[in-house]
Structure 1
Amino acid sequence: MGLYDELTKRKTVGEIFDVNDLTPEKLKIMFIDEQKTDNMIATLFNVKKSKITYLRRKNGISLRNSIIDNFLEDIPSDM
């Protein structure tokens, strides 16, 4: 079970999440690793989609940056 699924399960039993507690690491896990949309994450935290988009951009979390990071990790360090 991923982070998003865990938080969704907790929300169904009444837990309320504050977007201010959403760390860049957790946001990256949900958006990049678990491939959840801004809208899905926004619904989980009861905020507008634009708030999640803003937080992602502010913290440099994008599919493009993820692809570049993965590419750079694959390059041998002795090059």
Structure 2
Amino acid sequence: MAKSEKEVRKEKVKKPGLIKRFTAFVKGVGAELKKVTWPTKNELMQHTSVVLGIVFILTLIVYVIDAGLGGLLALIIR
């Protein structure tokens, strides 16, 4: 019985072994990390303070809404 064309192509194309693929992956990650532009200490501090400020403001907004709705619900239940 003759093999189909797909089966023949499948047999010809062999994947490299697990260790070779993993090694290639690690090398690729290392190459990409070398391309990264890391922030300076001052940039990192500025960005962190902006994020913390926004988190604080949003926390206050959620607290005010929660307290308001909780008070409204307490008035409705009474």
* Higher gyration radius (CA): 2
The question of a shared fold, defined as TM-score above 0.5 by the shorter chain, is answered with no
Determine which structure has the larger helix proportion and give its number: 2
Q: Which has the higher contact order (CA 8 A, sep 6+)?
A: 1
Scaled by the length of structure 2, the TM-score of the pair is: 0.23
